[in-house]
Amino acid sequence: MTKPISPRAHGILDYAIVAVFLNAPMVLGFSGTPASTLYWLAGIHVLVTGMTAFPYGAFHVIPFRVHGVIDVALGLFLIAAPWLLGFAADAGARNFFLVVGILIFAIIALTDYTPRPEVPPREPGDRRRCRGPTPTV
């Protein structure tokens, strides 16, 4: 079964999650530990995403599969954070962390982490053709 989220789409989702982490405290009114945790997670996540070897990574230091393992750790942390950091009584923050943690696991389950060579887009006038494997006689 092929997974519907390509490395390119995963990169877009990663940066979208960074934006969610940065904006959630202001939009949802979080303060204290939940807000500072989200700001730290945004900073860490943008660094990891920027250093990942995939289309939207800037430095290509972290292999994409290792990025996937880091995403698993992020999902586990998000689900456990309300209790680990002592803000489980704040229902809004707790539920936000749980929902985003579950969303991270859904993205992980749907992402194709197999390495693929990046083929540059065709230029106008490019006459290359897509050919299958050469038959052997």
**Distance between start and end Cα atoms, the chain:** 31
Name the residue with higher pLDDT: 128 or 27.
27
- How crowded is residue 44: how many other Cβ atoms within 10 Å of its Cβ? 14
Would the pLDDT of 130 be above 70? no
Q: Where are the domains of the chain?
A: 7-110
3-state SS assignment for residue 62:
strand
pTM of the model as a whole: 0.80
Q: What is the pLDDT of residues 102-129, one digit of tens each?
A: 999 999 999 988 866 666 677 777 666 6
What pLDDT, on the 0 to 100 scale, is given for residue 54? Answer: 84
